[in-house]
Structure 1
């Protein structure tokens, strides 16, 4: 009797199926240190307990994207082990910070299925929720992934494509309990720019770049216990390349955005996101942002800023789509998200 797990294929999913993912993960300070080693991450609230405490938190949380990667990684063996590509995100909300000592687990519900016209693959839509050791949700997100079929002749399920909101409403953002930016130290944070200094439509070139290394992206993907074969095994791809984990690109772009958005301290939501083109080792990632919206919050001194974060591997800043409306070939990531920053 076979003991190994080949992973689920497209025909193994059904609408409404709830999958509890294996291997809970207790978070330690090592997560923060490795995250900051892998990316040029410098946001102060994730770097200093004292800075976080002045901002009303009990200690410095781990980076929101580190928590996202851990929860995402839990889902990979059940959702995307046989994926061709992770296609997009929607309705992602951070519900409470994650601190050193917390233990995270995850579960996903299948909310959509659609076979592709080739009959070789299909798109699986899931809503994934991460929980801490108190069974309290720390985040939730919808993602959709293209998954291979085990048997191309297997009958296709009826198409079910879930409706997702175009954005998370500002009123639905969850502000961490106690967050207070009235005593915020802009000098220690690294830049003087407040929430009110950013205008809707403003574009920011983050100017810096980082060349992706094979070893670093595989170390990051192992850190999040992401077992997707396409990130480690070069043999299934015709070009013989390992595909860089999309979350690695998100974290790199977010870290690069510090130059110009150093006070965009906490991520509250991801409205939409797409990995527009594949990223491979040797690509140099750069980033630019566009301010999409602003909203007040009920927390003292805290404003919400909606941003588009674009990661590229060349091309001119602020070039996003061609005349056909499609992302240009140099665009790696197009991410629409909310951040919390001092007013």
Structure 2
């Protein structure tokens, strides 16, 4: 049996510092992506839901949710970066440079910016910086992430350890506000809530109340939609426990959609500062979410400010909204800890 034409994916020892990978299969975003996203996630944000609302705030082309662009661009990287991953460990320095609109074609390239073999000698951590560009060659979004990857051969020598320095937060001055965005005539009734930038206090926590129970069918459909081929999401033989692992991005989108209740005016994600998939999620788990206001930025564009938010997804509802225990470890039930900037009306 010949395997010379098939791709088993890269293992830890296949990565080299500075290596640039051009990922296959550019993908054109369509209105079908918007419809399917709404079928999979209970998202109700006015801007991606209503072309009229988008136009009223200065965006004549009707953008899709930022996370559609993120998932599509991220999915491109999976066959080359994380096909043999144990886990996706975190994100940093993710900026959304341009709204993605139907008709845009995204393609992604990644550069290896860090390597560190784990002490067990069987796995290692790979850091990459990925950039998604549209059909005009403009950057739509870029981000860094790090992933734990299996070694093919435990005896393979360890590379020199290089751990990149990544910013803990995207500074407000580095946030990219879409050209023409103007919230001065913002329709709060259409958006669904009256709360503006000044109504939120740093340190405030918001329980988003609603929960959604995960099913295998939905998370696999979502993951296929983004052409993410990681075996652990589809193949029950890929994990010792025989369960399909839910793609971490599915939890991000679910939590973001649930956050509408209390943050309906957080219309656009401008940046993801940091993200950790704290614990695995599986079909049957019921996901709830809460948010904490970490910071605020004023006057980014006419009528536009930004909230820095910690979005936490939990298995079951945590009415105490506890992120960490006294020993500083994550509290039981925390699935996702995501730190991001959202553009809101002032």
TM-score, normalised via structure 1 length = 0.99
Say if 1:277 and 1:329, in contact at 8 Å, map to a contact too. Answer: no
Paired residue secondary structure (2:301): coil
Instruction: Confirm whether residue 291 of structure 1 aligns to residue 293 of structure 2.
Output: yes
Q: How is 1:150-165 mapped onto 2 (pairs within 5 angstroms)?
A: 150-165=152-167
Q: How is 1:116-127 mapped onto 2 (pairs within 5 angstroms)?
A: 116-127=118-129
| Structure 2 equivalent of residue 6 of structure 1 | 8
1 CA distance for matches of 2:301 and 2:318?
Answer: 38
How far the C-alpha of 1:338 sits from its partner, in A, is 0.1
Instruction: Confirm whether residue 236 of structure 1 aligns to residue 234 of structure 2.
Output: no
Say if 2:211 and 2:317, in contact at 8 Å, map to a contact too. Answer: no
Say if 1:273 and 1:336, in contact at 8 Å, map to a contact too. Answer: yes
| Structure 1 equivalent of residue 182 of structure 2 | 180
For structure 1, which segment, 310-319 or 119-128, has the greater mean C-alpha deviation from structure 2 after superposition? 310-319
Q: What are the ranges of 5 or more consecutive residues in structure 2 without an aligned counterpart?
A: none
| Structure 1 equivalent of residue 18 of structure 2 | 16
Q: How is 1:21-36 mapped onto 2 (pairs within 5 angstroms)?
A: 21-36=23-38
Instruction: Confirm whether residue 167 of structure 1 aligns to residue 163 of structure 2.
Output: no
2 CA distance for matches of 1:31 and 1:214?
Answer: 20
How far the C-alpha of 1:282 sits from its partner, in A, is 0.5
1 CA distance for matches of 2:251 and 2:194?
Answer: 27
Counterpart pick for 1:52 among 54, 70, 73: 54
2 CA distance for matches of 1:162 and 1:185?
Answer: 43
How far the C-alpha of 1:4 sits from its partner, in A, is 0.7
2 CA distance for matches of 1:140 and 1:70?
Answer: 12
Paired residue secondary structure (2:309): strand
How far the C-alpha of 1:315 sits from its partner, in A, is 5.5
Paired residue secondary structure (1:161): coil
How far the C-alpha of 1:9 sits from its partner, in A, is 0.3
| Structure 1 equivalent of residue 254 of structure 2 | 252
How far the C-alpha of 1:238 sits from its partner, in A, is 1.4
For structure 1, which segment, 308-317 or 43-52, has the greater mean C-alpha deviation from structure 2 after superposition? 308-317
Q: What are the ranges of 5 or more consecutive residues in structure 1 without an aligned counterpart?
A: none
Give me the CA root mean square deviation.
0.8
2 CA distance for matches of 1:33 and 1:177?
Answer: 25
How far the C-alpha of 1:322 sits from its partner, in A, is 1.5
1 CA distance for matches of 2:299 and 2:17?
Answer: 36
1 CA distance for matches of 2:318 and 2:269?
Answer: 27
2 CA distance for matches of 1:162 and 1:81?
Answer: 22
1 CA distance for matches of 2:250 and 2:238?
Answer: 21
2 CA distance for matches of 1:75 and 1:253?
Answer: 23
1 CA distance for matches of 2:13 and 2:74?
Answer: 22
Instruction: Confirm whether residue 320 of structure 1 aligns to residue 332 of structure 2.
Output: no
Q: How is 1:200-239 mapped onto 2 (pairs within 5 angstroms)?
A: 200-239=202-241
2 CA distance for matches of 1:324 and 1:31?
Answer: 42
1 CA distance for matches of 2:61 and 2:35?
Answer: 15
Paired residue secondary structure (2:70): helix
Paired residue secondary structure (1:297): strand
2 CA distance for matches of 1:251 and 1:315?
Answer: 17
Say if 1:321 and 1:327, in contact at 8 Å, map to a contact too. Answer: yes
Counterpart pick for 1:68 among 67, 70, 75: 70
Instruction: Confirm whether residue 142 of structure 1 aligns to residue 166 of structure 2.
Output: no
How far the C-alpha of 1:234 sits from its partner, in A, is 1.3
Structure 1: 4+ residue segments shifted above 4 A: none
- Spell out, residue by residue over 1:30-56, the C-alpha distance to the aligned partner (whole angstroms, 9 max, x if none): 000000100001100001111000000
Give the number of equivalent residue pairs.
343
